[in-house]
Amino acid sequence: MTHEGSAIDPTRPSIARVYDYLLGGKDNYAVDREIGDTFKRDLPGSVAIAFANRAALIRAVGEIAKTTGIRQFMDLGSGLPTADNVHQVAQRHAPESRVVYVDTDAQVLVHGRALLENNDLTRVVAVDVRDPEGIRRHPATLEMIDFSRPVAVILSAILHHVNDDEDPAGIVRYWRDQVPSGSCFFLSHFRSGDNPETVAAEKVLQQTFGRGRWRTDAEIGALLDGLEILDPGIVPAPLWRPDGSDRARGEEDLTVWERLIVAGMARKT
């Protein structure tokens, strides 16, 4: 979580760029690949977390666009572009969908602003996710989002980078109070397990970035307090409304890593 206006620093690792590297992207530097290779080498199988999370996000945005009347999305802590970004998925099903991307990583902002040249229904807000009021009042947010109509709030793999003393539940509560009934919240989050993999992965992130909080099912559920959690609940990301061959899988078929990222959708009633 950098500050607005920060320049790209290729000597310091970036959460967004490490994630990009794990997904096979090219927007990363040697310092990011070094951290990514720690996961690949020392925690084999952990890359499945990134892919499972991304696939669940794509399914969630598609579900919202296809099955609800929601046509405005806020992607909080959006990260670097990959194939099938939120605006691409939403607009594939509902071309009039508007998307606000929120991030402060300098490289994310460069890419995000390039989007504006090709898509007049997207905007980028360079405000820290921990400053929801700043996001809410930003001119780009006010231009794109009509808060009198339902909004899809996307919290994909971001709240586990918000430490407990930074009040992640308060961030969700703020947006819950800002959006009207019928709005949807999609959340994915590192899920702690009673296993050495959780401890090892958390240690790498904390030592590198000073953040990265694995939480229990109960703690993750509490982040969505006051919202109606929709079927199938908060479950490992590959099991959240799976498509294709994943439909036949149960939790017993997942690797330990695939169980360490969960996803869920909730609605404001």
pLDDT digits (tens, 9 = 90+) for 81-101: 666 889 999 999 999 999 999
Residue 54 has which token pair?
């991304």
More confidently predicted of 44 and 216: 216
- Average pLDDT for the chain: 88
Phi and psi at residue 263, in whole multiples of 5°? -140, 155
Range of the domain at 35: 15-267
What CATH number did the domain enclosing 62 receive?
3.40.50.150
Q: Report residue 2's pLDDT band, with 50, 70 and 90 as the boundaries.
A: very low
Confidence (pLDDT) at 28: 82
Q: What is the pLDDT of residue 1?
A: 44
State pLDDT tens for residues 110-132.
777 777 678 899 998 999 999 99
Q: Give domain status of residue 9, yes or no.
A: no
Inside any domain, residue 5:
no
* Rounded Cα gap, residues 74 and 256, in angstroms: 31
Q: How many domains does the chain have?
A: 1
* Dist. CA 19–CA 138, nearest whole Å: 27
Residue 2 maps to a domain: no
Percent of the chain residues topping a pLDDT of 90: 53
